[in-house]
């Protein structure tokens, strides 16, 4: 069954946007009566039947509706985007497939990418949502200065994964302690000593993702997996 994203769905019918209508009718060759799945990104999962196979305004009739409750835990990753945007797009795709509630993009002292447009990442997140069957689209935040971010998060549920020497706890040992968890992942040059000191002064605890030195996007995805495993076992 083909899946479409319908964020503004309400009522007994839904009309696909023109680009989706053309894809449904001209490419997928969907005709009247054929069933499709709709996801609204807010937990709503619907089955619908094609009522009017118009390539400009394909109208669907809702035949079944279900609500998928949110996970009982909240997974949040704050990561400094890589200079190569393809690598960050890969991370967003995989994180959504695994399941994540919020992604924040950090602007750090050593960040090679200082600005980020969310349009492309949002499209990738939607595509991953449809492919994986997830019902909840994560919140994607605009680029945020590191010092502003650490001033606003709850320190009791926030951890910083840095590479500096010093005592660090394995994320797997602490990530499952509560219903919420946020992990900070730095740029390829790591957080600066000043940024680490600032985070620790706010009560954010240092963690490690293992002995290997991971790329930024790999570390961010590893954090997502670790937070899930800690809560689902």
**Residue 233 confidence (pLDDT):** 58
Please indicate, yes or no, whether residues 51 and 13 belong to a single structural domain of this protein.
Answer: yes
**Residue 101 confidence (pLDDT):** 97
Residue 174 CA to residue 186 CA, distance in Å, equals 19
pLDDT tens-place string over residues 139-179: 999 999 999 999 999 999 999 999 888 889 999 999 888 89
Please indicate, yes or no, whether residues 45 and 133 belong to a single structural domain of this protein.
Answer: no
Last residue of a domain, one of 18, 50, 67: 67
Please indicate, yes or no, whether residues 91 and 162 belong to a single structural domain of this protein.
Answer: yes
DSSP, residue by residue, 103-117:
EEEEE-TT-S-----
Strands annotated E in 74-219:
74-79, 102-107, 139-145, 158-161, 169-170, 180-185, 205-208
162 and 191 in contact (C-beta within 8 Å)? yes
The residues facing 159 across adjacent strands are 183, 205
Length of the chain: 233
Structural domain tally of the chain?
A: 2
Which residues of the chain have a pLDDT value below 70? 233
- Please provide residue 213's backbone torsions phi and psi, each rounded to the nearest 5 degrees: -90, 110
Find the CATH number of the domain harbouring 170: 3.40.1280.10
Please indicate, yes or no, whether residues 60 and 79 belong to a single structural domain of this protein.
Answer: no
Last residue of a domain, one of 43, 67, 91: 67
Instruction: Give me the sheet containing 59-67, strands edge to edge.
Output: 3-5, 35-39, 44-52, 59-67, 13-15
Last residue of a domain, one of 14, 42, 67: 67
- Where in the sequence is the domain holding 28, given as residue range(s)? 3-67
Other Cβ atoms less than 10 A from the Cβ of 140: the count is 18
């Amino acid at each position: 069954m083909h899946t479409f994203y319908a964020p503004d769905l309400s009522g007994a019918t839904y009309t696909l946007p023109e680009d989706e209508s053309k894809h449904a009718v001209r490419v997928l060759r969907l005709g009247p009566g054929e069933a499709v799945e709709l996801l609204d990104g807010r937990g709503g999962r619907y089955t619908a039947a094609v009522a009017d196979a118009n390539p400009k305004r394909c109208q669907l009739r809702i035949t079944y509706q279900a609500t998928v409750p949110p996970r009982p835990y909240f997974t949040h990753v704050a990561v400094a985007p890589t200079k190569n945007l393809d690598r960050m797009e890969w991370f967003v795709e995989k994180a959504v497939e695994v399941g994540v509630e919020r992604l924040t993009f950090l602007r750090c002292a050593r960040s090679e990418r200082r600005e980020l447009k969310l349009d492309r990442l949002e499209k990738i997140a939607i595509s991953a949502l449809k492919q994986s069957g997830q019902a909840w689209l994560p919140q994607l935040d605009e680029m945020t200065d590191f010092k502003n971010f650490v001033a606003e998060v709850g320190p009791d549920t926030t951890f910083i994964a840095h590479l500096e020497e010093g005592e660090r706890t394995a994320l797997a040992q602490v990530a499952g302690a509560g219903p919420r968890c946020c992990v900070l992942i730095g740029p390829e040059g790591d957080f600066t000593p000043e940024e680490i000191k600032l985070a620790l002064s706010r009560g954010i605890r240092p963690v490690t993702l293992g002995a290997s030195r991971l790329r930024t996007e790999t570390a961010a995805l590893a954090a997502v997996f670790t937070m899930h495993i800690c809560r689902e076992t």
